[in-house]
């Protein structure tokens, strides 16, 4: 039998099959590419947003001697070459040009300028620094003789420490250094990642002294390369460092899991480099920590995406197999006739399979080709996915044809002879349900590891189990409705519900399409709504109001008034935030009008601490273990507080752990001026730039909108949300296609039944209503089952899927049920719409002739 002749006869059904195969191949090839590209962007963002001293490899060497091999810049360069030679291959291809550094450690200024606090200046040599600074006063430092050094200091630090060109300093108590400042410089590009390793060269480092407002001032002063050989000596504590930058753009997210082991191996190799047993090279990097955090986020994203895309793939395959079933139904008469005339099973099945392959293979190749329009890396699934779909479709068609035509003249009336359930089928279905429940229990018990087979099997097993239960149980409520409809005089409800209870127009395959489509869509909606809610909570807690302004010093009354006059600002609540001391602990004190603050955050997710009541003394909220009748707090001077309750957190200060909350006028009660350091602003949509301009220079502004966008714009978070939307739309389309195809597949039996009923007086309108009643109960029951499964997947997979990385670290829980309910109702209505589309197709002569809706 010639497949081409069959193709001309059934061109419409072949076109439907080809379109579905092409769509499935496109999805299975394009979505993984999009996800892998997002993983790579997320890896670059996760590493690129961290400071260079976290991501780069820094090899340090501490000693009180000046080893001969580290006396000159050339010695440091040779050691740098050696440290790069022992890099593992996974790291060697990532490294870029670096630099070296040598410095003293914590040398106090014994003689020098007067300042408000202790001064520390450390002579430092950094390779390549000359190209990154420009001198604004004086000249570069010259050569030293070992005791007298010439130094260059960054201008901002010199101003803070009252240092000028020509200032003489005496540094250290042992191995004293007499130094002269010969030049002041500015940094050419403060954003250069080079300065992440040399912050003390770029700016002064302020170290607060516990229990006071006094700061130690630390700065690294530059020396010339010629002074490096005499930097040691006199028992000075020296620190040497070799910085080896890592270029993460040379590594993809798929290669990232191998990097922690490579870094551990490099740490071992550097540890055995030193010849001196008392001193050793130590690797200092936080790259493994960043990798661990990213790999955790990546594993979560892969888990969620595999569950969602696995459901999409299963649904698409089931819809394609429905189209295959349609082709088998269309070619049944011709192939049965050929079989009855002596054709072998191989010839008949081969002809039908060749017809399916004629539509499937070019369509799969076309979908695969279209996937190249989506940017992203070519992973094995991109190539294997369309091929697997083609093989599954062709193999499914061959198996279905072989079973259907295994014997000639296979005509039978399935609606007359009731099928009996075999013990084997009951056993298999019971085993599927038991395995699905057992898999879900084990998944909750032990969590989910990367590459775990439960990643795919548990959600799919639960879907199959619920589908089996739905198929087996749906006739029972329908039979009750049939009994109720039999008491009424109208025939259409009784006949429609009776046909629905028999489910001859629906097989297990359409249920396996509708149920996972609804379940995965509801699961995606639950996760997406939970992520959005958690993101908003994190943004509110990060800011503490619609906007928060923090001054480097103190807000003046004029600045506060200017902020109040910014368009869109409703109210401003000032506060003073400082560090105080309770015994050996240093909690954060928040002096604020709690009643006013609670008023501006009313209606938001923020839950500020309870109000303060008027009473004797200074009321306060303190850490839970400090709730005593009277508490002494050191805040420059000792303050007596009257604790009225406990506090464990405060909005906008989430990184801190211990708090003391007092009224805003606490300093006034101490006889001192109230100093405003923070402003909480109520005003939705106020631009951060307007607030910053009104507040003046040196003020940091953080708004709720900016904080929320920063969380939402994370590459992995954005990709997860986009994939959820794409999958939901695709599943809606597949649900519609499944209903239409299932009705077209059963058109022959329906046409036979309706022809008998039409002879008994059934009108065309009643026939349409009968078709709707026949299909709608299954759609509604499947929608309820899919809704329940979708809502249950989130708690079932909860311990295995930690989505906090997509919500700024907050726990994600799908608490809003109205959105999944709306989505399930929408997909159910879309499925019912498919019934009316089928009826419309049957009433259109051209389309009906192509698809043969009513035979």
Domain boundaries, the chain: 53-100+248-285, 106-236, 544-707
* CB contact at 8 A, 678 and 576: yes
Banded pLDDT at 655 (limits 50, 70, 90):
low
Higher confidence at residue 51 or residue 728? 51
Rounded to 5°, angle at Cα 139 from 136 and 143: 150
* 695 pLDDT higher than 70: yes
Beta bridge partners of 43: none
Specify the residue for token string 């590594």.
251
* 70 pLDDT higher than 50: yes
Of the given ranges (277-291, 413-427, 517-531, 674-688), which has the lowest mean pLDDT?
A: 413-427
Q: Where are the alpha helices (DSSP H) in 272-421?
A: 287-330, 332-340, 345-370, 380-404
* 503 pLDDT higher than 60: no
Give 657-675 pLDDT, tens digit per residue.
788 888 888 777 766 777 8
Pairing of strands 631-635, 637-646: antiparallel
Banded pLDDT at 135 (limits 50, 70, 90):
very high
Pairing of strands 119-126, 99-104: antiparallel
Cα-based distances in Å from 647 to 607, 622, 811: 11, 6, 21
Residues 832-836 have a mean pLDDT of 62
Residues 312-325 have a mean pLDDT of 81
Q: Which of 656, 660, 657 is nearest to 642 (CA)?
A: 660
Higher confidence at residue 831 or residue 309? 309
549's enclosing H/E stretch is strand 547-555
* 66 pLDDT higher than 60: no
* CB contact at 8 A, 770 and 492: yes
Residues 760-765 have a mean pLDDT of 71
C-alpha to C-alpha distance for 169 and 104, rounded to whole angstroms: 15
C-alpha to C-alpha distance for 566 and 558, rounded to whole angstroms: 13
Q: What per-residue string of b and e applies to 181-201 under the rule 16 or more CB within 10 Å gives b?
A: bbbbbebeeeeeebbbbbebb
Res 53: pLDDT:
84
Of the given ranges (282-286, 339-343, 440-444), which has the lowest mean pLDDT?
A: 440-444
Banded pLDDT at 826 (limits 50, 70, 90):
low
Residues 830-850 have a mean pLDDT of 55
Residues 496-501 have a mean pLDDT of 70
Residues 178-199 have a mean pLDDT of 90
Res 445: pLDDT:
66
Other Cβ atoms within 10 Å of 620 Cβ, number? 26
Of the given ranges (18-27, 732-741, 833-842), which has the lowest mean pLDDT?
A: 833-842
- Sign of the Cα torsion 730, 731, 733, 738 reads positive
Question: What string of DSSP letters covers 345-377?
Answer: HHHHHHHHHHHHHHHHHHHHHHHHHHGGGS-S-
Cα-based distances in Å from 439 to 91, 228, 458: 39, 65, 6
C-alpha to C-alpha distance for 24 and 4, rounded to whole angstroms: 24
Strands (DSSP E) along 161-256, which ranges?
A: 168-171, 177-187, 205-208, 215-222, 238-244
Res 450: pLDDT:
47
Q: Which of 780, 288, 728 is nearest to 524 (CA)?
A: 728
Pairing of strands 631-635, 588-592: unpaired
C-alpha to C-alpha distance for 689 and 104, rounded to whole angstroms: 42
CA 834: distance to chain centroid?
Answer: 35
* 855 pLDDT higher than 50: no
Higher confidence at residue 454 or residue 83? 83
Of the given ranges (148-152, 508-512, 558-562), which has the lowest mean pLDDT?
A: 508-512
* 850 pLDDT higher than 50: no
Pairing of strands 215-222, 205-208: antiparallel
- Pick from 160-169, 250-259, 494-503, 551-560 the range whose average pLDDT is largest: 160-169
Question: What string of DSSP letters covers 650-716?
Answer: -TT-TT---EEEE-TTHHHHTTS---EEEEEEE-TT--HHHHHHHH-TTEEEEEHHHHHHHHHTSHH
Report the Cα–Cα distance between both ends of the chain, in Å, rounded.
23
Res 311: pLDDT:
73
**Coil, helix or strand at residue 46:** helix
CA 306: distance to chain centroid?
Answer: 14
* 184 pLDDT higher than 90: yes
Backbone angles phi, psi at 99, to 5 degrees: -150, 170
* 431 pLDDT higher than 70: yes
* 3 pLDDT higher than 70: no
C-alpha to C-alpha distance for 738 and 14, rounded to whole angstroms: 16
Res 417: pLDDT:
46
Cα-based distances in Å from 454 to 484, 512, 651: 44, 20, 40
Residues 191-212 have a mean pLDDT of 82
* 854 pLDDT higher than 50: no
Give 621-631 pLDDT, tens digit per residue.
888 888 888 88
Residues 166-185 have a mean pLDDT of 87
Rounded to 5°, angle at Cα 679 from 676 and 682: 150
Res 233: pLDDT:
62
Higher confidence at residue 593 or residue 509? 593
* Structure-block tokens of residue 55: 């991501």
Q: What is the pTM of this model?
A: 0.71
Res 490: pLDDT:
75
* 357 pLDDT higher than 80: yes
* 1 pLDDT higher than 60: no
C-alpha to C-alpha distance for 56 and 263, rounded to whole angstroms: 11
How many percent of the chain have pLDDT more than 90? 6
Residues 13-42 have a mean pLDDT of 85
Of the given ranges (30-44, 176-190, 793-807), which has the lowest mean pLDDT?
A: 793-807
Residues 476-505 have a mean pLDDT of 71
Q: What rounded mean pLDDT belongs to the chain?
A: 78
C-alpha to C-alpha distance for 498 and 490, rounded to whole angstroms: 13
Give 522-538 pLDDT, tens digit per residue.
777 777 777 777 778 88
Res 806: pLDDT:
60
Q: Which of 26, 28, 47, 531 is nearest to 253 (CA)?
A: 47
Other Cβ atoms within 10 Å of 86 Cβ, number? 15
* Structure-block tokens of residue 153: 């200091």
**Coil, helix or strand at residue 206:** strand
Cα-based distances in Å from 172 to 111, 141, 176, 179, 263: 10, 20, 5, 11, 37
């Amino acid at each position: 039998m010639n497949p081409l002749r069959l193709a001309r006869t059934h061109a419409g059904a072949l076109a439907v099959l080809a379109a579905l195969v092409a769509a499935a191949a496109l999805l299975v090839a394009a979505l993984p590419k999009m996800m892998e590209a997002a993983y790579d962007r997320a890896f670059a963002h996760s590493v690129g947003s961290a400071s260079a001293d976290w991501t780069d490899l820094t090899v340090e060497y501490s000693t009180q001697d000046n080893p001969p091999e580290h006396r000159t810049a050339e010695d440091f360069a040779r050691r740098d070459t050696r440290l790069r030679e022992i890099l593992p291959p996974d790291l060697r291809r990532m490294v870029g040009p670096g630099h070296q550094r040598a410095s003293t450690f914590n040398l106090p200024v014994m003689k020098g300028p007067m300042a408000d606090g202790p001064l520390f200046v450390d002579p430092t040599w950094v390779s390549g620094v000359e190209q990154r600074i420009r001198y604004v006063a004086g000249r570069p430092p010259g050569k030293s003789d070992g005791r007298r050094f010439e130094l260059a200091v960054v201008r901002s630090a010199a101003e803070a420490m009252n240092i000028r060109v020509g200032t003489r300093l005496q540094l250290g108590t042992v191995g004293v250094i007499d130094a002269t400042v010969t030049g002041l410089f500015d940094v050419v590009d403060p954003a250069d990642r080079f300065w992440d390793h040399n912050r003390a060269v770029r700016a002064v480092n302020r170290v607060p002294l516990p229990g006071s407002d006094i700061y130690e001032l630390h700065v690294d002063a530059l020396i010339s390369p010629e002074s490096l050989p005499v930097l040691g000596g006199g028992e000075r504590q020296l620190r040497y460092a070799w910085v080896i930058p890592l270029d993460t753009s040379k590594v993809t997210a798929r290669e990232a899991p191998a990097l922690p082991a490579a870094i551990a191996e490099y740490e071992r190799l550097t540890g055995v480099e030193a010849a001196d047993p008392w001193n050793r090279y130590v690797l200092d990097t936080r790259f493994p920590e960043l990798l661990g955090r990213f790999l955790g986020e990546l594993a979560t994203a892969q888990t969620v995406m595999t569950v969602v895309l696995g459901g999409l793939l299963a649904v698409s395959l089931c819809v394609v197999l429905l189209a295959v079933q349609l082709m088998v139904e269309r070619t049944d008469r011709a192939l049965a006739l050929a079989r009855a005339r002596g054709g072998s099973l191989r010839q008949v099945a081969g002809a039908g399979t060749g017809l399916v392959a004629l539509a499937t293979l070019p369509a799969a190749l076309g979908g695969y080709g279209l996937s190249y329009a989506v940017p992203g890396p070519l992973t094995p699934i991109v190539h294997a996915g369309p091929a697997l779909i083609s093989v599954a479709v062709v193999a499914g068609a061959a198996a279905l044809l072989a079973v259907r035509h295994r014997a000639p003249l296979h005509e039978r009336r399935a609606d007359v002879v009731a099928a009996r359930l075999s013990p084997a089928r009951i056993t298999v279905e019971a085993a599927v349900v038991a395995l699905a429940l057992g898999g879900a229990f084990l998944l909750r018990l032990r969590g989910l590891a990367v590459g775990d087979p439960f990643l795919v099997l548990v959600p799919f097993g639960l879907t199959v189990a619920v589908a089996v239960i739905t198929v087996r149980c749906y006739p029972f409520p329908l039979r009750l409705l049939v009994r109720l409809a039999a008491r009424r005089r109208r025939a259409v409800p009784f006949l429609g519900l009776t046909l629905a209870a028999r489910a001859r127009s629906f097989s297990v395959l359409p249920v396996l399409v509708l149920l996972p489509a609804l379940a995965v869509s509801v699961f995606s909606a639950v996760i997406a709504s939970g992520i959005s809610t958690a993101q908003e909570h994190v943004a509110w807690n990060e800011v503490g109001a619609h906007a928060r302004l923090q001054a480097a010093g103190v807000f003046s009354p004029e600045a506060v008034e200017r902020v109040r006059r910014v368009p869109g600002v409703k109210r401003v609540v000032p506060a003073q935030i400082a560090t105080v001391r309770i015994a050996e602990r240093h909690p954060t004190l928040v002096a604020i009008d709690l009643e006013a603050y609670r008023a501006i955050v009313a209606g938001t997710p923020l839950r500020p601490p309870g109000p303060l009541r008027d009473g004797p003394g200074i009321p306060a909220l303190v850490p839970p273990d400090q709730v005593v009748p009277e508490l002494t707090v050191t805040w420059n001077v000792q303050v007596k507080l009257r604790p009225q309750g406990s506090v464990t957190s405060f909005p906008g200060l989430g990184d801190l752990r211990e708090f003391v909350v007092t009224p805003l006028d606490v300093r006034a009660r101490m006889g001192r001026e109230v100093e405003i350091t923070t402003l909480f602003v109520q005003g939705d949509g106020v631009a951060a730039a307007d607030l910053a301009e009104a507040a003046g220079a040196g003020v940091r502004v953080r708004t709720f909108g900016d904080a929320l966008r920063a969380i939402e714009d994370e590459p992995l978070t954005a990709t997860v949300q986009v994939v959820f939307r794409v999958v939901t739309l695709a599943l809606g389309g597949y649900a519609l296609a499944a209903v239409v195809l299932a009705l077209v597949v059963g058109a022959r039996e329906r046409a036979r039944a309706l022809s008998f009923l039409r002879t008994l007086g059934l009108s065309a309108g009643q026939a349409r209503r009968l078709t709707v009643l026949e299909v709608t109960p299954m759609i509604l029951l499947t929608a309820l089952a899919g809704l329940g499964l979708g809502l249950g997947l989130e708690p079932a997979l909860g311990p295995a899927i930690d989505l906090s990385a997509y919500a700024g670290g907050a726990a994600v829980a799908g608490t809003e049920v109205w959105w999944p309910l709306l989505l399930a109702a929408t997909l159910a209505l879309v499925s019912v719409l498919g019934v009316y589309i089928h009826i419309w197709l049957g009433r259109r002569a051209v389309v009906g002739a192509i698809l043969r809706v009513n035979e």
